[in-house]
Structure 1
Amino acid sequence: MRAWAVPLALLLVAGCGEVRPVATVPRPLPVTVRASQVVEPAVLARKLAAMQPDWPRGPRVDCRRAKCVALTFDDGPGDHTARLLDMLRRRGARATFFVVGQMVVADREHNLRHMLLDGHELGNHSWSHEQLTALSPLGLKFQLKQTQAVVERMTGVRMYLMRPPYGSTDGRVADETRREGLAQILWNVDTFDWRDRSASLVAERAIKAGPGSIVLMHDIHRTTVDAMPRILEVLSRRGFAFVTISELYGKHPPAPGRKYTER
């Protein structure tokens, strides 16, 4: 195991289920983001399309008319993310990845670029997966801003979505996310994949999604990725389109600071 993997493995071994308040503020990495590096998603899409003419695959979906479901993945990128991306690519399915800043740095941009090339959406899942409601104002600000800065530096994309670790939020978190321009995306289908490392159980829970559902999963778990072929097959057979959070809400995008659990 690589040296950086030890603390990260300890940090994420329980996924988003176990609350572990931490009061300290990590030392920031030396990250500098120039305004010219931050581009709107539509601009990035044109650049990526020029690099790969068939990106994004298939037409964009109007979820006012189609049966849409948003598959979301937290805590990565990790060791199983690349295999998940291959599965989604073969299906032409899009998803939203709520990334942890430290994991992004450890990943060295590899999976993030693949996510963007395949039309997936990125969201902020904090710097080190702390319970945001337990932090000082400075610590809370750091957790969001540092992850924003790292992703912007690496990809040129400014994230407009976030998911609070453990789903733990309050008025202070709402205020800070509003200042940072981030909507709070929660979920209405919980697979409990962090607790039950069983591909069959994860699949059974995920396929209960209905139109407009937001499904919570974690791409750091092998069993979750093992469950994906069945999830994609069953929901496809039922006529669902796999969309990003922004596609799910369409012309009425999630507002900064507000909480969303489904469309």
Structure 2
Amino acid sequence: MRVWALPLALLALVGCVTQSVPRRHQVRAPVVPSRPAVIDPVVLAKWLVSMQSGWPRSRKFDCARLKCVALTFDDGPGEFTGKLLDVLSKRDVRATFFVIGQMVAADKGGHTVRRIVNDGHEIGNHSWSHPALAGLSHEELKHQLKHTENIVQKLTGVRMRVMRPPYGSTDDEVAAETRREGLAQILWNVDTLDWRDRVPKTVAKRAGDAKPGSIVLLHDIHRTTVDAVPSMLDTLGKKGYTFVTVSELYGKTPAPGRTYTER
């Protein structure tokens, strides 16, 4: 059954049950004009999106026993993100995308960021304009996080629970602000250096050196990185790795304010 048909089916079922109850007495009750049910179209639209996307997808992995690895992609969404999502979808692989607010705003209609969510990937905050967060004023730091949070939630209905500080730049103030915003700081322990070395074979090889529990740093704004992903998945897959999101790697949503680099 299509999701949009579910409310209609429920109403029809209620009608059938009501008609099937025998009338014990033919007592005429005063006629009271009934008011039609009023459904907020915004609430209905968000409900339908959540039903269709199934967010968050419920997948349970025991990464204390399995060989798990979390692939993470920064700085998007960009012009190559759609191709990457196609590759991941065909392989039934989930990843974590740390998005930049300005890039989300530039994505017409938010199509790509909504697809990230609908495809079951985890989405995280990577600031509004990618500055080094350590050393920013409290007001600017809050703006960088909150502005991105607001636009992603408006477009997808998802409240992000993880973030990645650009350049890995963090300090006590960043930790305090992310704790207030309910965001865990996710760093990495495998850096593919794909922003510097635009060679798919090199990027895939570095990612292939991941160990159980690794968080791998990649960038979906580079075509060469996206081209490296199939080989990367083949290499890690042959080694028996299970591909998970960051939250799945830990078996729960990471704690706000805390910094994570690997399991």
TM over 0.5: yes
TM-superposed deviation, 1:63: 1.6
Runs ≥4 in structure 1, deviation > 3 angstroms?
Answer: 43-47
> Is the contact between residue 101 and residue 128 of structure 1 (CA under 8 Å) also seen in structure 2?
yes
Q: Which runs of 5+ in 2 are unaligned?
A: 1-41
Query: What is the correspondence of 1:149-164 to structure 2 with a 5 Å cutoff?
Result: 149-164=150-165
User: Is 1:48 aligned with 2:49?
Assistant: no
1:86 alignment counterpart: 86
Q: Matches of residues 91-240 of structure 1 in structure 2 within 5 Å?
A: 91-108=91-108, 109-240=110-241
Distance in 1 between residues matched to 2:120 and 2:50, nearest whole Å: 8
Q: TM-score, normalised by structure 2?
A: 0.79
Per the TM alignment, residue 134 of structure 1 is displaced from its structure 2 partner at its CA by 3.1
Q: Map Cα deviations across residues 196-233 of structure 1 (whole Å, 9 max, x no partner).
A: 11111111110000111000000000110111111011
SS in 2 for 1:133: coil
Q: Which has the larger radius of gyration?
A: 2
Match in the other structure for 1:13: none
Q: Deviations over 1:134-192 (max 9, x none)?
A: 32111000000000000000000000000000000000100100010000000000000
Letter in 1 for 2:117: L
1:242 alignment partner in structure 2: 243
Question: Any gaps of 5 or more consecutive residues in structure 1?
Answer: 1-34
Normalising by structure 1, we get a TM-score of 0.79
Report the CA distance between 1:254 and its aligned residue.
1.2
CA 1:36/1:46 → structure 2, altered by over 3 Å: closer, same or farther? closer
Amino acid at match of 2:247: S
Cα distance in 1 for partners of 2:195, 2:202 equals 11
Q: How many residues align?
A: 220
Cα drift, residue 105 of structure 1: 0.8
Indicate conservation of the 8 Å contact 1:70/1:248, yes or no. yes
Is the contact between residue 73 and residue 97 of structure 1 (CA under 8 Å) also seen in structure 2?
yes
The answer to whether residue 251 in structure 2 is matched with residue 255 in structure 1 is no
Task: Name the CA distance, whole Å, in 1 between partners of 2:50 and 2:111.
Answer: 18
Q: Which residue in 2 is equivalent to 1:3?
A: none
User: Is the CA contact (8 Å cut-off) linking 2:77 and 2:107 kept in structure 1?
Assistant: yes
AA partner of residue 128 (structure 2): W
